[in-house]
Amino acid sequence: MLMDRVFGVCVLVAASFAMTAADAVQADFMLDHVPDDAMLYFGWQGTDAMGEAFEQSHFGSVRRDTNVDQVVVGLLPIAGMFLGEHAGQIFRLITQLERVLWQRPWVMFVGDPASVTERLGAGPDVAVPTLRIGIIVKPGQHDRQVRQALQQWERAMTDDNTPATWIDDGERLGLMVGYDEQQVRDIHIVWRSLSRDTHFSHARRQVMNSPALLAYINIKRVARRIGDGAPLPGLMVDPSHLDAFITELDLNGMQRAVYAGGFQQRLWQGQLFVDAPAPRQGLARLFDAEPINDRELRAIPRSASWLSAYRLDAQVILNAVDNALHRLHHEADPVNAEIRKALTAGLGELWLFYSDPTFISPAGPGVSLVHQLRDGRPIEAVMPQLVEQLNGHDPEQPAVEQTQRDGMTIYQYTTPSGNYTFAWAIASNRLYVGTSVQTVAAAHAHTLRPGNALPQSSQFQRVRERLGNPPAGARLAFADLQSTAPSMFQGYAHAMQLNLGGLDMGPNLPNLRRLMPYLIPAGKSGWADDRGWHARSIEPFPGANLLSPSATINLGTGTLAATILFSVTPATAAGP
């Protein structure tokens, strides 16, 4: 679902530093020192208090045997380059303090500058900062090193119009940029602390009691800031354009989200809660989708190495995209409008992505999608127009080829760069998409004879048990990491070799041979109740799911959708 990727920067940091035990002593996330205007928050506990729980975990073994921590921390400055100047300064600070932050507790948060006028009123004596961000560390014996790094960060982040206040009580050392001394002193009066925020506390109670890592996003505040047209740290998109989509998607039904992670014996468990109480409105209505059942999962072969399944109503998304494009004054011609109308009417709710190593094709196993259509007839009717759009204006070199196989027409499209190919077909009111004609044909053949299916797999059943047999829901993922890791490693290794303007892409990847003994199957499940959306994941160590396409399928799906969307959407916009 959408919230699987809600934490952005926090997820990247979490993969680097999440290393304490779920059954450790009650965590102190310094919430009494974090103002309740925090839009984003991240906190974790450090390794000093871990004891045997960490030493006996898979992640403890992986960190001892490989350089996985150096890889991720080495990539943080690169991520900062793409997320903007402020994010880059934060990542440079984290990199500078890497060894300390492995061991010691620390928190980071981004506050809402608009809260100044909300609570103090507007006037000539009220200075409104453009940025509010803080980091607090319990440095222990590393006080001098942390202090020097924070002093450098202060010089980089502040100016005459941006105040900064130090936290220095002998136990905690921190810097709050955009908060003056009076505001910090009044944290329990005017702003209150996050620990006293009843809405945060309600969301916090929906996840594990004593996590190693805690992350939070105030969705309402973030959406409001974007709606006001104000820039956000790390947001490299025109806020007015993003606001058009947020307005149409209607995020009012989602208020805040909390993620907690910690060790479950030797494994890493994550829990996510999105505060979206029933009755839901806007985008939050997607949470009310019917659960995915084992009968529907029979469309996935038992030999599949991974699965990413969603119940997601395409009509809600496509209508929102259409309305947002209209807000941005994009005018589609009649042919494009007809194609989008057909997609909106025809696409359904159930999306099953997977790979099966027994599906042999020139490109390897590849990725398959089986999608149950609401009504395939409108899409079949506009298929000639869609093919014409994808072919462009060069009939001598068509980008789309057609093949007859097993009584159906399979279309194969190659991107203009020639780097990517995918194929699709409609049969028995299902849409089949794959990386080749062969994978589409094999996926179709299995649904005609679905006797040997994924729910019968012992590995799949064990992952469900490790997840605690959660309620059936509209989100499900599974990955046999032993099978998926080699090809994913190959892709990451290729990315590491890229040279972006002379940029060093960081250290080499960890030794795959040393990782393999710890790569047990991983999974994720998501479901809704009257309180909101719950998700639970299990993996051998933090970030292990990145070794499965199930964790990156959202990016690929977005690329495919964008290819189709922009092929039927004009590049120019009409004036207002």
Full pLDDT tens readout for the chain, 576 residues: 433 433 343 444 444 444 333 333 345 689 989 998 899 999 988 878 777 778 889 988 888 888 877 777 666 666 655 556 777 788 888 888 888 988 899 999 999 887 776 666 655 555 666 788 999 999 999 999 999 999 999 998 888 778 899 999 999 999 999 888 877 777 656 568 898 899 999 999 999 988 889 999 999 888 887 766 655 554 445 555 666 666 666 777 889 999 999 989 999 999 999 999 999 877 788 899 999 999 999 999 999 999 999 998 888 877 777 776 676 666 656 667 788 888 889 999 999 999 998 887 666 667 899 999 999 999 999 999 888 888 875 666 778 899 999 889 999 998 777 777 889 999 999 999 998 899 999 999 999 887 789 999 999 999 999 999 888 899 999 999 999 999 888 877 776 665 544 455 555 678 889 999 999 999 999 999 999 999 999 999 988 998 998 876 654 444 444 444 444 444 444 443
Which residues are registered as beta bridge partners of 476?
A: 309, 525
Please give the pLDDT value at position 533: 95
Residue from 534, 557, 565, 2 nearest 272 by CA: 534
Distances (CA, A) of 239 to 227, 244, 274: 7, 9, 23
Neighbours of 452 (CB within 10 A): 12
**Do 429 and 346 meet the contact criterion of CB atoms below 8 Å apart?**
no
Is residue 295 within 8 A of residue 339, CB to CB? The reply is no
Instruction: Please check whether residue 263 is in contact with residue 52, taking contact to mean a CB–CB distance below 8 angstroms.
Output: no
pTM of the model: 0.85
Strands (E), 171-305: 173-177, 213-217, 256-264, 267-275
| Dihedral of alpha carbons 381, 384, 387, 393, sign | negative
CA distance 57 to 64: 11
How far is it, in rounded angstroms, from Cα 540 to Cα 534? 21
- In whole angstroms, give the CA distance from residue 220 to residue 361: 47
* Cβ proximity of 505 and 462 under 8 Å: no
CA distances from 43 to 73, 83, 400, 407 (A): 17, 20, 49, 56
> What is the C-alpha to C-alpha distance for residues 34 and 215, in angstroms, rounded to an integer?
13
Q: Which residues of 333-364 are buried (b: 16+ CB within 10 A; e: fewer)?
A: eeebebbbebbbbbbbbbbbbbbbeebebeee
Q: Is the CB of residue 438 less than 8 Å from the CB of residue 367?
A: no
- Distance, in Å, from the CA atom of 192 to the CA atom of 201, rounded to the nearest integer, reads 13
Beta partners for residue 350, in sequence order: 311
What was the pLDDT predicted at 448?
A: 87
